[in-house]
Amino acid sequence: MDENTDYSWRITERDTGSIHEISPKYSNPDEAAQAARNYAAENLEPGTEIIITVLDEKQNKINEIDLYNVTPATATKALDKIKTKKKNGNGSLESALWQAADKLRKNMDAAEYKHIVLGLIFLKYISDAFEVVHAKLVAGVGDYEGADPEDPNEYTAEKVFFVPSVARWERISENAKKTDILMDNGKRVDIGGYVDEAMEAIERQNPSLKGVLPKVFARQNLDRTSLGGLIDLIGTIALGTEQAQKRDVLGQVYEYFLGQFALAEGKKGGQFYTPRSVVKLLVEMIEPYEGRVFDPCCGSGGMFVQSEKFIAAHRDHYKKNGNGNSNSISFNPADRISIYGQESNQTTWRLCKMNLAIRGIDSSNIRWNNEGSFLNDDHKDLKADYVLANPPFNDSDWSGDLLRDDARWKYGVPPAGNANYAWIQHFIYHLSPQGIAGFVLAKGSLTSKTSGEGDIRKAIIEAGLLDCIINLPAKLFLNTQIPACLWFLSRRKEGRQDKVLFIDARNLGYLINRRTKDFTDEDISRITGTYHSWRTGADGYQDIPGFCKAVTLDEIKEKDYVLTPGRYIGLAEDEDDFDFTERFAKLKAELDEQMKEEARLNDLIRENLSRLDIQQ
């Protein structure tokens, strides 16, 4: 930091775009940022959502801070959080990369830009991984003696994609700023055309990537200077080196960017991205240690990635059960499960294929077709050990009229106007004799009785398949404000065939911004710990009023097979330290303040109206 530089601040209100600036200069960025917070706390309405930008004397942006629900208290809390984050370095790489990449987006829509950024990240990764093996082949030591560094088969043996010379990152980086590049085939292109040619070359050499990589870099609305800057930015990090692979650097960056693009796209983002904490909760509940994992509406593949993470985090399970050497260097989580998926959106399918490829997960059974899982089930004969899914809520356009006699409708024909119970029966159809399914659905699926849905729900419950229902908080999902819940069905309910666990998690989670909520790891542990304690009986499960209760099928029958957790769990017990007098006095004081403010504003309005000279 230059001690001779003066710093200033600018506040932008997110909702209105209003800008606040004042002239004083400050000797360092932190002092300027704090001054902006103080100004916001004193001058802006509580609840205002703002961006604070710290500028140097040349008006270059030094720092940018988001604040939500501005009050003196939240300003202080946000400052403490920022300082803690800086101290611990949490998320610094992913966050820094995102901020830099987002600056280069300019006016391009986030839905388009994500393919540009994620495509380049993938390209950098496979090039780095290629170079690691290439260096060993060039050295020709030990097992690599006499090997040809340009033989694609050598890379296949190492489970690494072969990258032709035109697509290697060094060549791409060299051409990043060029506007006229002569290709080996005599074609002249700029950097956008060059990257498209590189993608085509990679697909030709690697059949498993055919039709997967984005060829969108030559489009006219992509600024070439920004593209060159993005290439330089991504080139600064090692993604596919051995050290980076051990730390899963690329996996973290790719997952973070998927989440940020989903937030940027809002409703459309939910079509390819399920919030990480919801995916983690589903996976931790069903515990896919080994077997076939199926997601018939797989989006960008988050369920599969989290399943692999679950296995990697539970190496002790395999050691304890004598199931392979979990301490071995060769222990590969991807070898413990085989994955099967289907996606009807081709661009989302491409994101999924890349997401799995960078983690070394076999994606050969991830299928795409336009018709989707109902009309054209690409895994008709699959019986999966685990089903994980987040299907579209209340989908009315699922071609139900064409499938009235389908063999999957064992428990009743689902209504043509809503696919919820079609999805449930699709999941059941694909479960193995010991299979378990966990999936997200609209909360209405717990109570609906229209068009035979109540009868289907009753049949599934009486068949002993329902294991657990979880009521979720609002604002967890980006693409809908419809209340949601989690269903868990199981064919292995030994000792609890006539029981169902209900969990009400509506009061868990925290706001990451005004519109979006998320679970903490502690929230997830509490929910999954409760379920596994009840399922195994190992840790002395107990019902907790307001949070969880195990009920019999007879109790569910008494409530006409309605599955809303609140009907069974009841209210939480009042806290012993609740002081009514104190609470009442606090609320009364708040009301008095609000009434005074109302009177002040009314006087102000009357005063302003009196100044108007209205001509009759």
Local confidence band at 115 (pLDDT 50, 70, 90 cut-offs): confident
Of all residues in the chain, the percent with pLDDT exceeding 70 is 82
Could you tell me the fold of the domain covering 269-569? Rossmann fold (3.40.50)
- Is pLDDT of 69 > 80? no
pLDDT of residue 538: 78
- Is pLDDT of 213 > 70? yes
Average pLDDT, the chain: 83
Mean pLDDT confidence for 345-355: 87
Local confidence band at 421 (pLDDT 50, 70, 90 cut-offs): very high
Asked which of 149-153, 193-197, 233-237 is least confident by mean pLDDT, the reply is 233-237
Q: How far is CA 303 from the centre of its chain?
A: 10
Q: Which residues contact 350 (CB under 8 A, 6 or more apart)?
A: 115, 211, 212, 213, 214
Mean pLDDT confidence for 493-497: 83
* Structure token pair of residue 98: 């995102």
Q: Residue 195 class from Cβ within 10 Å (0-12 exposed, 13-18 middle, 19+ buried)? A: buried
pLDDT of residue 264: 67
Max mean pLDDT range (41-45, 350-354, 556-560, 572-576): 556-560
Mean pLDDT confidence for 349-378: 90
Local confidence band at 74 (pLDDT 50, 70, 90 cut-offs): very low
Asked which of 70-74, 123-127, 167-171 is least confident by mean pLDDT, the reply is 70-74
Which CATH number, 1.20.1250.20, 1.20.1260.30, 3.40.640.10, 1.10.15.40, labels domain 110-256?
1.20.1260.30
513 vs 154, more confident: 154
- Is pLDDT of 239 > 70? no
Max mean pLDDT range (14-23, 203-212, 254-263, 314-323): 203-212
Domain ranges of the chain: 7-89, 110-256, 269-569, 579-611
- Is pLDDT of 9 > 60? yes
330 vs 390, more confident: 390
pLDDT of residue 563: 96
Cα(465)–Cα(412) distance, rounded to whole angstroms?
A: 15
pLDDT digits (tens, 9 = 90+) for 454-476: 999 999 999 999 999 999 998 88
450 vs 583, more confident: 450
Of 411, 405, 435, which is closest to residue 423 (Cα–Cα)? 411
Cα(532)–Cα(525) distance, rounded to whole angstroms?
A: 10
pLDDT digits (tens, 9 = 90+) for 116-156: 888 998 898 889 889 989 999 999 998 899 899 999 999 98
- Is pLDDT of 329 > 50? no
Positive or negative, the CA dihedral 76, 82, 84, 86 is negative
Asked which of 30-44, 161-175, 367-381, 431-445 is least confident by mean pLDDT, the reply is 30-44
pTM of this prediction exceeds 0.75? no
Cα(96)–Cα(514) distance, rounded to whole angstroms?
A: 23
Cα(491)–Cα(384) distance, rounded to whole angstroms?
A: 11
Of all residues in the chain, the percent with pLDDT exceeding 90 is 44
Question: Cα dihedral angle (440, 443, 448, 450), rounded to 10 degrees?
Answer: -70
pLDDT digits (tens, 9 = 90+) for 295-326: 999 988 889 988 988 888 877 777 666 655 54
pLDDT digits (tens, 9 = 90+) for 258-284: 777 766 665 454 555 688 889 999 999
Q: Do the Cβ atoms of 190 and 180 come closer than 8 Å?
A: yes
pLDDT of residue 576: 47
Residue 256: C-alpha distances to residues 116, 296, 556 (Å)? 15, 24, 41
pLDDT digits (tens, 9 = 90+) for 586-596: 888 888 888 98
